[in-house]
Copies of this chain bind each other. A is one copy, B any other.
Amino acid sequence: MKTVKNSKLKIQDSRSPSAYTLLTPGPTPVPQEFLNKMAEPVLHHRTPEFGRILNSVFENLRYVFQTETAEAFVLSGSGTAALETAIVNFFSAGERVLICSIGAFGERWSAMAKAHGLNADVLKFEQGQAVDPQKVKEYLGSHPDVRGVFVTHTETSTGTTNPIPTIGEILKTKDVLYLVDAVSSLAGEEFRQDAWGIDVAASASQKGLMCPPGLAFISVGPRALERMKTAKLPRFYFDLSFYRESKKVPETPFTPPVSLLAGLALALESVKRETLETYWARYKKLAQHTRSAVKETLGCSLLSARPANVLTAFYGPSESEAKKIPTTTVLKKLRDDYKITIADGQGHLKGKILRIAHMGAITKEDIDRGIAALVEAYASYGVSCRSLSFKI
């Protein structure tokens, strides 16, 4: 097996021993120092002490989104809450939007846009394929009334990265908002809100930022801030105008998850200190390592034609398919016998694929343990993988 030198980040040294090794795309393992921060006595949310935490979070979020022109907001919720916030603040019922869908999270955005009465067209691409920017260009040409284009940066259900900057180029000269789901990519895959012309970017705490789930982020550029003023979709808890007003204090309009925010503040400082470029390079290497291991050690095929740096999705060994052993069975064995959690496929891919995340505080050693355990687990079902050179 090809081995790739892994740039070990300082933060990994502080990880606590866990009952389970999480190789899942959120929640990802959380460094013990962040967990300890969250276990400190809770602060009241309308005090100068907490205001300082909020300010540092707002400022450092702009760094991880790579923006100097956008405003960052934090809400209580998962990535889905961030995606819904990106819909209800910028559109009015009946407006036409385009959802580019390459998997489960594109589908989710589409379901949300429809639930809110938008006239949502869906450009759907085949499983494992990325968005074809040419198709977006053609669509825009024939639909001059479109008000927003939604694209997932890294689609976690198939492990695919979309060509965000190329689509941004197409949208740059048009009065169309560009909204990007950066839930699983932020701080994992190169992402540049300003340079790529992104109006609205949404993300969450439990992926690349190495925190527990519970916090949703949204970064809103000047064009979108302007659009907010006329957007009429009903909203209250997700209404960013309240959050914008409260930021001046600095506060949040509704009681925020203070302990999670204290942890997040530390996490963001870590990322800033080590620099995003270090993080991006690290996951790029981890992704190359994982893809090699999947192909050369497990003898499996990747699902994606344009694989992401934050997650590798792959089919089970062909022998396991012949023997009708669903991935669900093997993954249960991995959890029970090895205390390793690897993600199954979602929706119609459940039981058919495996997904190993390499984001946040996941290390090369974690991944190697996961691969080695898979080799053993498949062997116990009489399925031999290409190589047994891995040791747990």
Contact = CB atoms under 8 A, between A and B. Distances in A.
Contacts of A43: 20, 27
B78 A255 contact: yes
A196 B290 CA distance: 58
Contact of A259 (B41, B79, B212, B233): B212
Contact of A77 (B17, B76, B116, B233): B76
A81 B237 contact: yes
A116 B236 contact: yes
Contact of A341 (B35, B47, B81, B239): B47
Contacts of A213: 42, 45, 76, 255-258
A309 interface: no
A238 B42 CA distance: 26
A80 B237 contact: yes
Nearest to A117: B234
A115 interface: yes
Contacts of A41: 16-20, 29-30, 35
A57 to B, nearest CB: 15
- Oligomer copy total: 2
Contacts of A47: 20, 335, 341
Contacts of A40: 35
A111 interface: yes
Nearest to A262: B212
A54 interface: no
Contacts of A18: 41
Interface in A321-355: 335, 341
Contacts of A204: 255
Nearest to A207: B255
A36 interface: yes
A115 B239 CA distance: 10
B39 A22 contact: no
Given A41-B19, A76-B81, A77-B237, A27 B258 contact: yes
Contacts of A22: 42, 44
Contacts of A78: 76, 237, 254-256
Contact of A214 (B39, B49, B214): B214
Contacts of A265: none
A297 interface: no
A238 B341 CA distance: 28
Interface of A: 16-20, 22, 24, 26-27, 29-30, 32, 35-36, 38-45, 47, 49, 76-81, 84, 111-112, 115-117, 204, 206, 212-214, 233-239, 254-260, 335, 341
21 contacts: A16-B41, A17-B41, A18-B41, A20-B44, A20-B47, A27-B43, A27-B255, A30-B259, A42-B206, A42-B213, A45-B213, A77-B237, A115-B234, A115-B236, A116-B236, A117-B234, A206-B255, A212-B258, A213-B258, A214-B259, A234-B234
